[in-house]
Structure 1
Amino acid sequence: MVEPEGRNALRSIAVVGNNAVAWTSAAILAQSLNRHGVVVTLVAGEQTDAQPLVEVSQPALPRLIELWQLSERELLSACSGLFSLGIKYRTPGQDGFFLPFGTHGMAPSPASFEQTFFKLCPKGRRRQFNHYFLSTQAALKGRFEFPVDDPRSVKSTLRYGLHLDLSRFIQYLETRAGTLGFNVARADITAVRASAGGDRVEALDLSNGQRIEADFYMDCSGERGRLIGEGLGIGYQSWSHWLPWDSQLSCFAAGPSDVKPYSEVSLNADGWEKTVGLQNGRVHQYFYRESSGFDPDAYCRKVGADPVSTRPLRPGRRDQFWAGNCLALGDAAGSATPVVLSELHWATKSLLLWLELYPHRDNQEALQREYNRRCGEILDGFRDFHVAHTLAGAGPDALTQGPESLAWKLSLFTGQGRLWLNDEEPVPQETWVALLLGLGIEPDRYDVVLDGVDEAVLRNTHEKIYRKLAQESERMPSLEEVVARYCPAPKQ
């Protein structure tokens, strides 16, 4: 990140929204920029949009909590949280598979581990690739342990995300706004005052009579885009032809839950179902087309949950993510639908990119173009990852019917067993391989450098690796034991 300096440096940033993206963004900005004299103010009006109830975070969130110098143990306890090692999938007519966080940790010798796996394992049996991750072995046994820094230990390959009650997460950040270094203005926006040319935000008029003027504005107001869309008129491109789910149901079933170190996702005839455990119950989510005839109330009765919220989804993207002195984050910037990768994860990656390019008040055009290009690559990666889910059981013709960038990825993978990802790809290559193999999308060949390698030697190596992972996972404590010792939620 470029350090602000001189009279043209940004001195004030206003963040607009009252959701997890807004509160997290304000915390990131304050922790990054307070020491440079930047004042961060969160404008948190009444929360009118339905929220998804639970945050299923990727491994990046625990790292942010550490950077904020907050207690992960305290946060998990306050948010009835659990640790997660990945996602368990079920798809029609197929065995399920596990999508792990972390890495397999095997160095190329002479080719990558994936290539040796393709050589040894025939088509139709390659979902077992995911079992060469310690995260998979542990999660499917209900076990959990923290990663270690020692690269000689197989536990160094572990990564974990978090399941957090989203409203409690917001409350947790709210009570620590002062410690984290940002101000909070609790009022609705009554008017967005744009410049004469309509290309910059000049000020925000609030319902309490206050006027907020800042050098830069962050729009975290959700799909409405209160600043970027309504204020500056930046258009929106729809991706509904690739991502047809336009509604999300969230409902909560209270009571003791079967504590699992993963979330569960399944493809049904009318959409995707997702189940996420918390210490005090479980959240059920359903992503569906409103025109499909799906009945939210009937579904909630079926899973024994109370209906809480249904919200519209708007898959697509803004024509610009950064316009003038306004940056859109999360759903205000675009959405690939949060079936697997959450809005908070997308917003956080975008904001960290902006901080890397950090502008002055003037001469932002070159940085703005570069940010919009690179941020577009990030969201394209989110989109491609989710569109790939629609290919489960869809047949070979479907592989060419998605976005061009996804068709290119799949062509290289099925033809060569390789993936070349763009510079801003948000999903690690090993995760892509694990997903595609789990969905039944397999390569036709392996790296020819392995033709000269004794197959028996490779097989012996793989068997040793598998036994080592299985043995290590058996020695781990159960997730239930770790939570009871480390971060139990208060008794209700």
Structure 2
Amino acid sequence: MPGKPVRRVVVVGGGTAGWMAAAMLASRLPAGRVGIAVVESPEIGIVGVGEATIPPILDFNRLLGIDEDELVRRTEGTYKLGIKFRDWREPGHSYFHPFGSYGAPIGGLSFHQHWLRTREGRLGEYSLPQVAAYAGKFSRPSDDPRSVLSKMSYALHFDASLYAGFLRERAIADGAVHVEGRIVDVRRDGQSGDVDSLVLQDGRVMAGDLFLDCSGFRGLLIEQALGTGYEDWSHWLPMDRAVAVPCAKTGEPTPFTRSTATGAGWRWRIPLQHRTGNGHVYCSSFLDDDSAERQLIEGLDAPALAQPRRLTFTTGRRKLSWNHNVIALGLASGFIEPLESTSIHLVQQGVQTLMALFPSASIEPAEVAQYNRLMQQDYERVRDFVILHYKHTLRRDTPFWRAVAAMDVPDSLASRLEVFRSHGRIILEPGELFTETSWAAVLLGQGPAPRGHDPQADAFPEELIRQQLQRMRGLIQRGADAMPSHASFLARGR
């Protein structure tokens, strides 16, 4: 028996996830065909500590027709060319995970294979985003494939609460309705089990055909109402606490995020125009809350601007992202620590996958199953890449690092590591989020190095390859030298 058509979408919770969803729905769905309401309680706080993104956010913003200069101004944003990792391989060592690519393939073989064979220069010298980041430079990519600037890729840092507010304005302008109120009851259909309506504290009833649960960790609909279940990944990613605090800015903001490994986790530093975001993610089995907060405060560049906020979480994902007529987005769908700035991206994936499968009439079981399969795949691929940072390292200096080095990892990651260890090969499946450059950056940046390289590299005269690599380094350095400073590029857009 066919279900009822989707004519009313109710988004539960505002914040970044809720307003990303509402803005996309209101912008892309035919006007007047589907009503969109966002129910947001002013009494419920928003986690809102995520301030760093990865390059796909640019595509999301373009789909919404957002002017990037305006967005950066409105959100106190800065540009991001990658992440600097300190003390991950071992204390005192640093490396950079750049956006874009390393060098260029030679003879159809991945660039890093030629570098593994010759070790000509440092790997980071072949990344224009990394060279530019360390020099405090920034420029948008060139459309001319002959220009070295065509190799640029970037993302954004922004104040997440300001981003949510910016999207709220756009969503409402496109027809979404903003409803303030606290949900006190969830009513379900007696036959189908679908969510039928929400009851607000003042007695209003919000009926809907499709509900998006953006209520955060508590999962008001997906878990509390539907009992979907949660897949716990803490045996692979044991970090279960975070403390976050902003501090005053010092100097000009750097065009990169910084991640510094600690004795039982890591600290983030995210530069914005008006302040710097900081946080400490850690495992409570190896570090107590007060010590974690003290380490964070002691490591700040400048005085704190607010009281530290403590968060508790369990890494993992809902067993179903779409259950009955409820789709979970953001923290309601799952949580993977923000080591590679994927939190907002997973919201984006959820929203764009929904748009690709949005019901033209009733909700179809086959499309629900496809959505769940795709989102499971996205979460698991991010999970594996984050686990890589803990497993593939030389650190053994604290009980925490010894524990994660000894842990078993998912088979999907274990097989990749084994393939890499022999000949440095990085095999990707279609549609993966993290590129060959991303995997190479972490695998080669944190060690241990592979035992060898692809034998195909030996088919090329070594001296010729060295000359080509030297030319690449020179071209990249000249390209970075010609860029404006990050600070002056920001000033142009104000």
When the two structures are superposed, what TM-score results if normalisation uses the length of structure 2?
0.91
| Counterpart amino acid of residue 246 in structure 1 | D
C-alpha displacement of 1:384: 0.8
Go from structure 1 to structure 2 and tell me whether the alpha carbon gap of 1:175 and 1:323 turns closer, same or farther (over 3 Å shift): same
- 1:76 — aligned with what? 72
In structure 1, what is the equivalent of residue 237 of structure 2?
Answer: 243
How far apart are residue 416 of structure 1 and its match?
Answer: 3.2
- Any idea what SS the aligned residue of 1:265 has? strand
**1:293 matched to which residue of 2?**
288
Please show how residues 471-482 of structure 1 align to structure 2 within 5 Å.
471-482=478-489
Aligned pair 1:57/2:53, yes or no?
yes
Worse-matched range after superposition: 378-387 or 38-47: 38-47
Q: What does 1:194-343 correspond to in 2, within 5 Å?
A: 194-197=188-191, 199-291=193-285, 292-295=287-290, 297-299=293-295, 301-302=297-298, 303=300, 304-305=303-304, 306-343=306-343
Q: How far apart, in 2, do the equivalents of 1:39 and 1:103 lie?
A: 42
Q: In structure 1, which of residues 91, 95, 98 is the aligned counterpart of residue 96 of structure 2?
A: 98
Aligned partner letter, 2:425 = R
Equivalent position of 2:399 in the other structure: none
Identity %: 29
Aligned residue number for residue 393 of structure 1: 394
Alpha-carbon separation, structure 2, partners of 1:220 and 1:257:
36
In structure 2, the partner of 1:25 is 21
Higher mean alpha-carbon deviation, 419-428 vs 308-317, is at 419-428
**What are the superposed Cα offsets for residues 126-176 of structure 1, whole Å, 9 maximum, x if unpaired?**
xx3233111001001000011111111111111111111122222222333
- Are 2:49 and 1:46 aligned? no
Q: State the Cα RMSD in Å.
A: 2.3
For residue 44 of structure 2, what is the amino acid of its counterpart? T
Counterpart CA distance in 2 for 1:154 and 1:411 is 34
Q: CA deviation at 1:95?
A: 2.0
**Kindly tell me: are residues 180 and 312 of structure 1, through their superposed partners in 2, closer, same or farther at Cα, counting changes over 3 Å?**
farther
Q: Which residue number corresponds to residue 384 of structure 1?
A: 384
**Corresponding pairs, count:** 478
Task: Please tell me the residue identity of whatever aligns with 1:353.
Answer: T
Structure 1 counterpart of 2:123, from 109, 126, 129: 129
Paired with 1:363 and 1:63, the residues of 2 have a C-alpha distance of 27
Partner residue in 2 for 1:85:
81
Q: What is residue 492 of structure 2 aligned with on the other side?
A: 485
| Cα offset, 1:68, TM superposition | 1.5
Residue in structure 1 matching 2:417, options 410, 420, 436 = 410
The residue type equivalent to 2:26 in the other structure is: A
Q: Which moved more, 1:360-369 or 1:91-100?
A: 360-369
Which amino acid in the other structure matches residue 318 of structure 2? R
Give the deviation of 1:240 after TM superposition. Answer: 1.0
In 2, the alpha carbon distance for the partners of 1:150 and 1:210 equals 56
Is 1:429 the counterpart of 2:427 in the alignment?
no
Q: CA offset at residue 360 of structure 1?
A: 4.2
Are the aligned partners of 1:341 and 1:382 in contact in 2 as well (CA < 8 Å)?
no
Instruction: Report the Cα distance in structure 2 between the residues aligned to 1:115 and 1:351, rounded to whole angstroms.
Output: 37
CA contact (8 A) 1:16 1:42 kept: yes
* Gap change, CA 1:180 and 1:120, over 3 Å in 2: farther
- Aligned residues of 1:399 and 1:407 also touching (Cα < 8 A): no
- 1:253, 1:281 within 8 Å by CA — same for their partners in 2? yes
Change (3 A) 1:242 1:318: same
Alpha-carbon shift at residue 213 of structure 1 (Å): 1.6
Distance in structure 2 (CA, Å) of the matches to 1:185 and 1:358:
23
**Whole-Å Cα distance in 2 between the matches of residues 41 and 350 of structure 1?**
18
Q: Taking structure 1 as reference, are residues 50 and 214 closer, same or farther at Cα in structure 2, changes over 3 Å only?
A: closer
Q: Secondary structure at the match of 2:340?
A: coil
1:205: Cα distance to partner? 1.2
- How far did residue 289 of structure 1 move? 2.3
What corresponds to 2:114 in structure 1? Answer: 116
- Tell me if the contact between 1:34 and 1:181 (Cα under 8 Å) persists in the aligned partners: no
Do the aligned residues in 2 keep the contact of 1:144 with 1:478 (CA within 8 Å)?
A: yes
Instruction: State the shift of 1:198 in Å.
Output: 6.7
Deviations 1:295-337 (A, max 9, x none): 2553454223132421112201111111111111121111121
**Are the structure 2 counterparts of residues 47 and 412 from structure 1 closer, same or farther at C-alpha, using a change threshold of 3 Å?**
farther
Q: Distance in 2 between the 1:108 and 1:415 partners?
A: 21
Deviations 1:205-250 (A, max 9, x none): 1223221222211111111111110111100121111111111111
* Unaligned runs of at least 5 residues, structure 1: 1-5, 488-492
Displacement of 1:10 in angstroms is 2.5
1:44 and 1:187 in contact (8 A); partners too: yes
Structure 2 vs 1, CA of residues 17 and 107 (structure 1 numbering), >3 Å: closer, same or farther? Answer: same
Any conservation in 1 of the 2:85–2:97 contact (CA below 8 Å)? yes
| Aligned residues of 1:10 and 1:215 also touching (Cα < 8 A) | yes
* Cα distance change, pair 256–114 in 1 and its aligned pair in 2 (3 A): closer
Q: Distance in 2 between matches of 1:443 and 1:140?
A: 27
* Alpha-carbon spacing, 1:263–1:468, altered in 2? closer, same or farther (3 Å): same
Rounded to whole Å, the distance in 2 between the matches of 1:143 and 1:333 is 37
The residue that corresponds to 1:155 in the other structure is 149
